[in-house]
Copies of this chain bind each other. A is one copy, B any other.
Amino acid sequence: MQIAGLSFTTTHTDTALRSNTSAPAERRITPTTKGPDILARTRVYIRDIELGGNRFVVIAGPCAIESETQIHDAAALVAAHGAHILRGGAFKARTSPYTFQGLGLDGVKLMREAADRQHMPMITEVLSERDIEGMVDIVDAFQVGSRNMDNTALLKELGQTKKPVLLKRGFAATIKEWLLAAEYIIVGGNDQVVLCERGIRTFSNETRFTLDLAGAVLARQQTHLPVIVDPSHATGNPSLIPALAAATMAAGLDGLMVEVHPDPTVALSDADQALSPELYRGMMEQLHLLATVMGRPLT
């Protein structure tokens, strides 16, 4: 069965009127019991890379695509040390309309070329329903950012595509709300959803957000979708990322998304949070070491 497998279905009682809902009720819930013993976990395929299986998958790349040179250098860097999928932002969700908004569709195309040269699949964020059509034949997967987790119009539209969707947790969303956002994609017929924990907003401001690792483990217990972690946005602090990447693997999660920049000091966006080439290489080496005892190979 290709549905999210939520375990709190008994709370859906206000279904008297359903004028705008097309989801057949009988499709939406797996008959599995709650808890970590969900046997048939969903596999998501971003081209040839499987998430939710044995392999621990690393998605890496720059925060934003800035130029042809930069994205090619970044792609070469992340490929050289074993990342599986290239990430990078072309349409950027910025707090202010006066800051760099990304290169848009031109950026997506630059990224496609850079990924192809490294024989890697690529994923990039989509911000608007209207951009899906132009992107869908270029990208290998769509990313929905934390700020759009509740953009149900966007989620529904992505449910109509056949491309995998990486759904970041809203930074103020509960696990339940996150899984229900995934359902907005799945009810449209697209079950290829990867969940990504990227930090929640709390009083604690010495890291940019608070990485909810326990929440990620809990989410993986409550659904059969793959769950990965983005420590870059969660902390905004590269010196913490290798430790948290190791923790993510040790906690049994399915993968990792990190920001890497060939030269973080000149990045146009989130310059302070990208891994330098040195930190990135060290992180990957430690992951390979851990993989030997965790039974979650990277290759």
Contact = CB atoms under 8 A, between A and B. Distances in A.
Interface of A: 12, 14-21, 23, 25, 28, 35-36, 66, 91, 93-104, 106, 127-131, 147-148, 150-154, 156, 170-172, 174-177, 180, 183-184, 187, 200-207, 210-215, 217-218, 221, 231, 234-235, 237, 239-240, 243-244, 246-252, 268-269, 289-290, 292-294
Contacts of A289: 293
Contacts of A101: 18-21
Given A153-B127, A203-B203, A290-B293, A218 B247 contact: no
A275 to B, nearest CB: 15
A66, A100, A175, A249: which has the most chain B beta carbons within 10 Å? A100
B207 A210 contact: no
Nearest to A98: B12
B247 A175 contact: no
Chain A residues touching B, majority SS = loop
Q: Counting chain B CB atoms within 10 Å of each CB, which of A18, A204, A240 scores highest?
A: A204
B290 A100 contact: no
A106 B153 CA distance: 18
A143 to B, nearest CB: 15
Nearest to A268: B17
A175 B129 contact: no
B180 A97 contact: yes
Contact of A14 (B36, B100, B293): B100
A125 to B, nearest CB: 12
Given A21-B98, A212-B210, A247-B247, A268 B171 contact: no
A93 B77 CA distance: 41
Nearest to A9: B98
Contacts of A21: 97-98, 100-101
A33 to B, nearest CB: 13
Nearest to A208: B214
Nearest to A155: B97
Contacts of A235: 214
A162 to B, nearest CB: 19
